[in-house]
Amino acid sequence: MSIPFQHVGFCGLRAFAAIALFAAAVAGCGTPKGPPPTANVEVLLADESGSRKEIGEINQKLLASVSTAPNLRDYVLGEGDLIQVTVFEAEELKTEARVGSRGFITLPLLGPVLIKGLTTREAEQKIEDLYKRKYLQSPHVSIFVKEQLAGKITLLGAVKNPGAVPYLTRQRLLDSLAGVGGLSEKAGKMVQVRRPNDDPKLQPMVFMIDLDEIIKQGNTDLNIEIQRGDVIFVPEAGTIYVDGAVKKPGNYPISQSTTVQEAIVMAGGFSLTADEGNIKLVRVMPSGKREVVKLSISDIQQGSAHSMSVKDRDVLFVETNTPKALLYGLRLNLGGGLFGIGYDPRSGTAY
């Protein structure tokens, strides 16, 4: 899978109860699961109407809702940053240090101090507290960032000024979008935030967030904090996201007549471990409510869903068949007189 939903379970985060956030890779937490069904096919077929909000209106509300300009004291320290630490009560403790790969700097008397992920303000307070415990009665610490090498965030897709931008201070999704001028005229309303996993062996996490839920419905919990290294992608309107047990998960452009089956074909078709009788279609209704419908390949080929078209912002999630995943994940290792059976949970092909 290229961009699977990661190990933040669908019901494990309250803030994402309203959005399509699914568990991915079998690795570490069993078979991936999509959201539970909330409606049937007839509900979707009976309510095909709905209007699309003008991008200009979205941008106006987006720019009006962002935080005030960040204070430089809110700069988030990270690996590679070169800082100067001054203790006003003891000139001899003045130190210049670079944040190491594990996030530590070394200070006189204190030794290693973890500051990665702290703002300069928070780091100053932490160092003051450490000196106060043993060495100084009422220390005052100042941190000056001499070199900022702490990383960037990347904004791609239908935004006015796509590209990589420095990650200087803590910010939320709307702040990041406003920082590049907002959305372009072709933008859809579903935003994806791709976040590297702490374990490089695992797939990145992908959050799918509906801007209408934040701006129109006022659900500020979905205005998530952006972290260093995040990639924010705004697809163009008229796209669908296909994930789960398909060969090429991702965004795909659709027309008014694109069917569910055609959308799966665009994603490369079912993978070897797909449960073809367990497909979830997630759709935002005109009322703003999100419905989840369970489909099967028989529904798509000849049943009530045969001619149903997918819509902008729909999400298709193909469940994994656990027995198939175990079967194709098994591999035999023969050679050198040794025999073993191993299981690769991320495997999509037989060994």
Domain count for the chain, please give it. Answer: 3
pLDDT value at position 1? 33
User: How many other C-beta atoms lie within 10 A of the C-beta of residue 261?
Assistant: 20
Look up the domain containing 88 and give its range.
77-147
pLDDT value at position 93? 94
Task: Quick: pLDDT tens for 325-349.
Answer: 776 665 444 344 444 334 444 444 3
Same domain, residue pair 105 and 218: no
Same domain, residue pair 211 and 132: no
Instruction: Assess if residue 330 is contained within a domain.
Output: no
Instruction: Assess if residue 347 is contained within a domain.
Output: no
pTM of the model: 0.60
pLDDT value at position 113? 96
pLDDT value at position 136? 93
pLDDT value at position 71? 61
Same domain, residue pair 208 and 59: yes
pLDDT value at position 303? 65
Which residues of the chain are modeled with pLDDT < 50? 1-31, 49-53, 331-351
Task: Quick: pLDDT tens for 38-74.
Answer: 767 666 666 554 334 457 777 887 777 665 555 666 7
Same domain, residue pair 208 and 257: no
Task: In whole angstroms, give the CA distance from residue 33 to residue 197.
Answer: 19
Same domain, residue pair 254 and 286: yes
Instruction: Assess if residue 348 is contained within a domain.
Output: no
Task: In whole angstroms, give the CA distance from residue 316 to residue 242.
Answer: 5
Same domain, residue pair 133 and 247: no
- How far separated are the first and last CA of the chain, in Å rounded? 17
pLDDT value at position 69? 56
pLDDT value at position 50? 39
The residues, ordered by sequence, that sit 6+ positions from 178 with a Cβ below 8 Å of its Cβ are: 62, 63, 66
Same domain, residue pair 210 and 248: no
Answer whether 273's CB lies under 8 Å from 320's CB.
yes
Task: In whole angstroms, give the CA distance from residue 25 to residue 297.
Answer: 22
- Among 181, 208, 236, the domain boundary falls at 236
Q: Environment class of residue 248 by beta-carbon count within 10 Å: exposed (0-12), middle (13-18) or buried (19+)?
A: middle
Tokens of 69: 């300009």
